[in-house]
Structures are given as structure tokens and as C-alpha cells.
Amino acid sequence: MNLEPPVRPTLATAPHDSVVTSSPRDVPVDRATAAARRVIEALMRTDRRAANLDRVTAVLDTIADHLDQHAPPVADRLIDMWRGEGITRHDPATGVENPLAPPLVLTGRADGSVDGVVTLTIPYQGPPGHVHGGVAAQLLDHTLGVANMWAGRKGATAQLNVRYHRPTPLFEPLTVCGRLVSEDGAKINTVGDIRTADGTVCVSAQGLFIDQSAFARPR
Amino acid sequence: MNLEPPVRPTLATAPHDSVVTSSPRDVPVDRATAAARRVIEALMRTDRRAANLDRVTAVLDTIADHLDQHAPPVADRLIDMWRGEGITRHDPATGVENPLAPPLVLTGRADGSVDGVVTLTIPYQGPPGHVHGGVAAQLLDHTLGVANMWAGRKGATAQLNVRYHRPTPLFEPLTVCGRLVSEDGAKINTVGDIRTADGTVCVSAQGLFIDQSAFARPR
């Protein structure tokens, strides 16, 4: 695919406290995605016997058929979804157009860090009443990548090391943060964590990223 | 919550090549969840201008309202969803009742490993045309936990170290595998990876798990 690199806000170019992911907008696709999230949550919560799930299935299939009829070939859609700020609208962590994303909204800070608050519910459950460890890893992986962007770097994840300090609760606000801590040529070292509202760290992560462009151009 | 521990198949108690997660069944909730996955996928693929997304939003909200009306209190539902084989039906990796899960179906092998094949599509995208690094971490985290179960152990994740060897492709079958490699009292060391059909390793993981029950009972 021939994709134009999107313009991303960085600490050097954008005002402090800029939202560095995409914010939900009052547009049809964002409203439809929010409604799809409601269905996911409600489907997991509903009584398996009382709700008329065969009727629900029929209506959902009708909607999927309708949307499929208006879908371009996958290759075309992939190009379109990466245009402009598309990069931040479709991923499964912060993507406001992705029903799988909570979505997490991240803000770039003057000190070089990024952070956002998210409350996770039943679809993200691992142990009873707590966040799935893999979901925590996923949110941190993405947040570390956004922290790199905010610092003006971009790299592919080479290693992600996640430490689980205590179970991460569902149903309460969690702060997810990330920060680029050091650079050595193409190697970028970034850390982050997930905390409860009282500041208790539940999960922390350290990532090594490789800036591919460092190999492609003279430095 | 007072939850009965579910009975899980293990290498010692179950036939080889047993499915150790849940398989989709021909029951209303599994069909409804599959239809919700179709909506998620189609919503991300559809043309944002051509599809009547305001109408789609209205219908999805009506379904969510209906399901909410038949939903028990969250605390009751949490207890119900962890009964019996519920543990494997609701998580965001293998849960056939969770629209966020692909779902991955894992089989326990005679050599002590577990593995499953999954094809990931647009909702799981990170880099263009490739799997989100956090999604790979999430699937591996879960698979390592299931590998522990198959080996007859159960532990909370303490550390998860993920290595990204090459980009993981969307739209083609990937094999996700895991295996408990060593135990030292309460410490359980488990590894796994994600490979393409030709055996190329894209992502590998090593996890340290702590068996909490080792502290609660004499060994």
C-alpha cells in the first residue's frame, strides 16, 4: 500500500495537553460504533434465557448484511482507513471507529508523557471482576507507541515486558500512562503503567522499539 | 463472590487433542455473539458515506435497550457467567460469548502443549495490514494461561515478556501455541508463540505465573 504518512501532534509541534488519539465526534460512524459497543456490553450482560436472542441474531445479521452491501473491497478500505487521522481512529485500543476499543483517549503532556483515563467493563474481564491481563498488555503496548509519537519518534515494537503487580479492577476509572525514557540511535526505550484512582500501580510495562526509518535515511 | 472452581480438562484427566477452551455451539447466545462479530467487522469495512449509519445506530440502540431490559444486576450476572464452563466462554481471547474474542479455540496435546488456529481481520489491525502488537500479546497471555491449566496448574500472571520478530499478517491462518516449560514451587514458567502457516514465528512470549494456591495450602 502506498500510504501518505499522517500528520501527528508531537510535543514539539502541538500545544501541551493536546489529545493525541482521536476523540469521538458527533458524526454517524462514531455514533454507530458507540451503539455497537452498547450491544457488545448488553449481549454479555443479558439473561441468556429471557432475552429473545434468536430475534436479536436475525436483526444483527440484517445490519451486517446491509453494511456489507455498502463495503468497498478490503484493499480499498484499508487504504481509506489510513488516510489523515485514520491511524488513530481504527486501532483496537484508542480507535473511536473500532467497537473493540474501549476507546482509550490519550493526552500529551508538557513533561513528554501521555495519559488517559478509561473504565473497563465485562467484555474486558479476565479473573472475576478484574481486567484480563492481556487487555492490560494491549492497552499498554498501544500507549507506549503513542508516547513515542508524542516524543516525535516512531518505532516498531521489538519487546514488550509487562509486570502484573496486583489485579486491575473493572468498573472503576484507570489511568493509563506512557513516556519515552531514553533513545540510543534507532532503539527507543519507553515505559508506562496502569493505576487506580488512588495512584496504586496495577500493571507496568517497559517496551523496546526500533525506529525503522533510522535505517532508511542517514542520521 | 463465592465461586465454585470449574472443572477444566487437563493432560492427566482428559483425552489428548481435547478442546480446552469452549467451542461455539448451535445455541441462541452463540449465534447472537457471532452476529455481533459480523456487525463489528462490517461496520469497520463499510463505506462511511454510502451506508445509512444513522439508521444502523437507531437499530443497534434498540437492540441494546432490549438486551439491557433483560439483564440481571451486574453482580448476579458475574456470578452466573463464572459457573461451570463459563470461565472459558466469556474472556476476550477465547470466549465464544464475547464479541471481542476472535474467538481462539485451543486444543490440548499429548506433549503438554496447547495450540489453536485463528485468522484475524480489520478490528485487530495495528500497522497497515498487520495484527496489532497488543492483540498478539493478549492472545499469547491467554494461551499461556490455558497451557498452565492443561498442565494441571493455575497461576496469576506475574510477568509477560513478548518479543516481536516480524509483523504478524492479517487475513491468514495463524497458529497460537503455549506450553508450560518449568515449575519451581509456586513459580510457573510458560512459553508460546504465534506462527504463520509455513511455521515462521512472528511473535513469541515467555510468562512467569504464580500459583496462589501454593501459599494457601500445604504442599
How far is A157 from A144, CA to CA, in rounded Å?
9
Amino acid B217: pLDDT: 47
The ipTM estimated for the assembled molecules is 0.93
**Cβ of A164 and B158 within 8 Å?**
yes
CA–centroid distance for B11 within its chain: 20
- Domains of chain B are 18-216 (3.10.129.10)
**Which of B48, B71, B123 is opposite residue A100, by nearest beta carbon?**
B123
Query: Of the candidates A1, A32, A162, which has its C-beta nearest B128's C-beta?
Result: A1
Q: CA of A15 to nearest chain B CA: how many angstroms apart?
A: 26
* Mean pLDDT of the residues in chain B: 91
At residue B6 the predicted structure's pLDDT band, cuts being 50, 70 and 90, is low
Q: What is the pLDDT of residues A186-201, one digit of tens each?
A: 999 999 999 999 999 9
Q: Which of A188-192, A196-200, B13-17, B186-190 has the lowest mean pLDDT?
A: B13-17
Kindly report the pTM of this predicted structure.
0.93
Residue B218: the pLDDT is 44
Chain A nearest-CA distance from B51, in A, is 6
Could you give the 3-state DSSP secondary structure of residue B56? helix
Residues of chain B with Cβ-Cβ distance to A140 below 8 Å are 134
| Position A14 confidence tier, pLDDT thresholds 50, 70, 90 | confident
Buried b (16+ CB within 10 A) or exposed e, A46-69: bebeebebeebbebbbebbebbee
**How near does any CA of chain A get to the CA of B18, in Å?**
22
* Closest residue in A to B4 (Cα–Cα): A128
Give the SS3 label for residue A68: helix
**Comparing C-alpha atoms, which of B76, B75, B95, B88 is closest to residue B6?**
B88
Inter-chain touch B64–A122, beta carbons under 8 Å: no
Q: Do A162 and B137 touch (CB under 8 A)?
A: yes
The span from the CA of B172 to the CA of B118, in Å, is: 8
Confidence bin at B219 (pLDDT 50/70/90) = very low
Say how many CB pairs under 8 Å bridge A and B. Answer: 281
- Say if CB B116 and CB B109 are below 8 A apart: no
Apex CA B72: angle with CA B70 and CA B74, to 5°?
130
From residue A208, alpha-carbon distances to A8, A11, A82, A183, A187 in Å are: 21, 20, 25, 10, 7
